Amino acid sequence: MKPRILQPRWINQMINRQQKFSTEFNQLNHTKQFLTSNQCRQSFIDYFVNEHKHEFFRSSPVKPLQNDQSLLFVNAGMNQFKSIFMENNDDLNEQLKRLRRVVNSQKCIRVGGKHCDLETVGKDFTHHTFFEMLGNWSFNDYFKQDACSMAWNLLTKIYCIDPKRLFVTIFAGNESLGLETDLETYEIWRSIGVPKNRILSLGMKDNFWEMGQTGPCGICTEIHYLLKEPNDNDVDNKQFMMDNSMEIWNLVFIQYFRDQNENLKRLNKNFVDTGMGLERILSLVQNVPNNYATDLFTPYFQQLQNLCKWPKYSHRLMDEKDIAYRILADHSRMISIAIADGIEPSDRGAGYLLRRVIRRASDSLKTLTRIQSLPVNVSETDVFLLAADTTIKILGQAFPELEQQSTKIFQIIDEELRLYSTAIARNTFILKYSKLLQIEINENYDHNQMVIIDCIERIDSRIDIIRKFQSKKNFLDNQTEIDQIRKDLQTVQDLITNDLTLSQRFGLFTDKIDKKFQQCDMKLIELENESNEIIEKIIQHFQLEASKHMLKSDSYTIISLLNIDFIPNFDENLKDFLMKIGLDLYGHNPLVLIMKFDRSNIQIQLSVPSAFQSKLDAHSWFQMAIDSNQFANIVQSIPTKRLKKMSKFQLTIDTNVEIIVDKLVKNLQNIGEKYF
């Protein structure tokens, strides 16, 4: 399949808007110099490489190594160094063996397993399916003192974050594990200059890190940022500090190994593993309200607004439009990164989760199109390819594999969107016909074949019942049931032949079904032919009798049938059917149809087509004709929805029926002559 190529103007517009965005924030920023996302990432790496002799170690792909069956995606910076922490020399290559000080920005995806942020993404400002973990490591080199001082200096000197907005947490100890309060780290923070009331002691949940139920683990210290300027009382309130802050950096000191009995043993070596989310620290460096206001995300909103003509992203938490924007931007990053790193959509494992993310993003796009439809020249695929291209432009400098795999990214996205569109159409199709036929259709071949055959057999039984009892039921009821059977059988035909590829795949159209359908259809045709013969006879009799009792001019017709013995086995339910025949034959002009159905009851129906209503409507025609005392007590109006076009009345006459009807006909005739 030939890849879709984006319009170059989209790329140029995105770059121009991103430069403008950066300029605007530079005027507001509280740091000495505005840092873009690329500069923020590179500053982190350069700081540890140039000032603290770390080796830059490229991010591993988000697809885990083949020998690591514990993960669907790489979800933390330490994953590629797991064998070092486990002290498993058999899994260490020469490159890993020589590592002592390392820095990198690791691509991470969290959409499954223990760390799954998928359903939260978009509903807040902090969670992401894909994020970058900035980290520095010490493999039996430096330990607590250097790790803390390096982190503090980077935040306050390089990123120029106000120390008054920072506080730290340390491990409070755990008696059952025989672990004391981490006073060593406390003293280190004090020596760096952190005030006593900005060092909080917390328990296992917050300040003890472990890889799993067993394996390497250790205490940690976290650096938090206060979201608003604290006063003296706030700083002394531990709960206030935790409720009004966000963690920005976790420094883990791996010293222990937890065995299967949950006992802790000291490792032979000490390790440092730190992690800081780029998206989160960038929001502080760029002095914007949240992650989605950084230049990692705003280009998506600007590009989508320009292409799709949607309302602007407004940075609101609970706004349906903004949630959809955030999901679309976030998921586009994850989709491109995952595909570039060798993960492809499938029905299981990581591929299944990637497919879920693509479809969730597609659903969010549909949310936005309900608010504002896409321009006629823009498709859903165009939107996704633009978002993918935006990802490549924003992250391509750090992760060149995105540009290298761009064709593959575009192709897979295009294919998945078509598959999802087909799946939606299929599910809508199945739901529609399940409801229409009151049957349960799914994607099971044998089940569907049995259900469809059973449905046809039920229709076949209804035909048999009509034939067996048609002489005992009134004609109109039989005809109504025949019409409904034809409608139901047509619905079955639509189901099994609407999409033959789908029908044959899911057992909706098989040789057995086709044979059963043809037999039922032939039986129904025979019944319809019998019914049509009866109808034809009734019409012929009606025409014959009407010709004997008709007052007809060029512009109106009055038919008075006081004797309807011409219909054998007449049932009162036939009256509406006879009136329909009259309308079909003579209703092109104003029409009055008068019929007697028993000794004393006469029904009158008047019809006036729209072209004549400006002269006189149906209701007024009759009201003028009965404007006499002799009709006052015998007329009852029968409600209809369209009085001007159609009016029905019933006359109850005990004596002199012919005389009264003749007078009524004469009145109707005189009025008809005058107005029509």
* The pLDDT value given to residue 2: 36
Residues 394 and 329 in one domain: yes
* The pLDDT value given to residue 634: 81
Element (H, E) at 134: strand 130-139
- When pLDDT is averaged across residues 244-271 and rounded to a whole number, the result is 91
CB 307 within 8 A of CB 383: yes
* The pLDDT value given to residue 469: 78
Residue 353: inside a domain, yes or no?
yes
The greatest distance separating any two alpha carbons of the chain, rounded to the nearest whole angstrom, comes to 121
* The pLDDT value given to residue 33: 58
Which residues contact residue 303 at a Cβ distance below 8 angstroms, ignoring those fewer than 6 apart? Answer: 10, 13, 14, 17, 386, 387, 390
Residues 326 and 447 in one domain: no
What tens digit of pLDDT does each residue of 210-239 get? 877 888 899 999 999 998 887 777 667 888
CB 608 within 8 A of CB 509: no
Six token digits for residue 197? 């009331």
Question: 70 pLDDT exceeds 80?
Answer: no
Residues 412 and 524 in one domain: no
* The pLDDT value given to residue 23: 39
Six token digits for residue 377? 């020249």
Question: 22 pLDDT exceeds 70?
Answer: no
Residues 335 and 280 in one domain: no
Please tell me the distance from the alpha carbon of residue 376 to that of residue 511, in angstroms, as a whole number.
42
* CATH value at residue 632: 3.10.310.40
Which residues contact residue 434 at a Cβ distance below 8 angstroms, ignoring those fewer than 6 apart? Answer: 440, 441
What tens digit of pLDDT does each residue of 110-164 get? 987 666 778 889 899 989 999 999 999 999 999 999 999 999 999 999 999 999 9
For 669, how many CA atoms within 13 A lie in the half-sphere containing its CB?
13
Highest mean pLDDT among 235-249, 286-300, 431-445: 286-300
Q: Quote the number of domains for the chain.
A: 4
Residue 88: inside a domain, yes or no?
yes
Residue 429: inside a domain, yes or no?
no
Question: DSSP 3-state assignment of 557?
Answer: strand
Which residues contact residue 154 at a Cβ distance below 8 angstroms, ignoring those fewer than 6 apart? Answer: 44, 47
* The pLDDT value given to residue 156: 96
The helix-helix angle for 406-437 and 349-371 (nearest 10°) equals 70
Residue 407: inside a domain, yes or no?
yes
* The pLDDT value given to residue 504: 81
Query: Cβ of 533: how many Cβ atoms within 10 Å?
Result: 10
Residue 22: inside a domain, yes or no?
no
Give the domain range for residue 327.
297-423
* The pLDDT value given to residue 125: 92
What tens digit of pLDDT does each residue of 78-108 get? 888 887 877 766 667 777 888 899 999 999 9
Question: 14 pLDDT exceeds 50?
Answer: no
Residue 604: inside a domain, yes or no?
yes
Residues 155 and 183 in one domain: yes
Report the chain's C-alpha Rg in angstroms.
41
Six token digits for residue 612? 């004549």
CB 166 within 8 A of CB 226: yes
Residues 509 and 529 in one domain: yes
Residues 277 and 365 in one domain: no
* The pLDDT value given to residue 4: 38
- 519-529 in b/e burial notation, b at 16+ Cβ within 10 A? ebbebbeebbe
Q: Which residue has the higher pLDDT, 261 or 198?
A: 198
* Cα separations in angstroms, 31 against 19, 152, 153, 161, 333: 18, 16, 15, 7, 27
- Shortest CA distance to 317 belongs to which of 293, 281, 283, 285? 293
Residues 254 and 304 in one domain: no
Element (H, E) at 24: helix 8-28
Q: Which residue has the tokens 């005392």?
A: 629
* The pLDDT value given to residue 169: 97
- Global pTM value: 0.71
Residues 384 and 479 in one domain: no
What tens digit of pLDDT does each residue of 635-649 get? 887 777 777 888 888
Please tell me the distance from the alpha carbon of residue 557 to that of residue 593, in angstroms, as a whole number.
8
Q: Where residue 32 falls among pLDDT bands split at 50, 70, 90?
A: very low
Residues 397 and 457 in one domain: no
Element (H, E) at 426: helix 406-437
What tens digit of pLDDT does each residue of 564-591 get? 665 555 556 677 778 888 888 888 899 9
* Cα separations in angstroms, 637 against 622, 632, 652: 10, 12, 11
Residues 529 and 582 in one domain: no
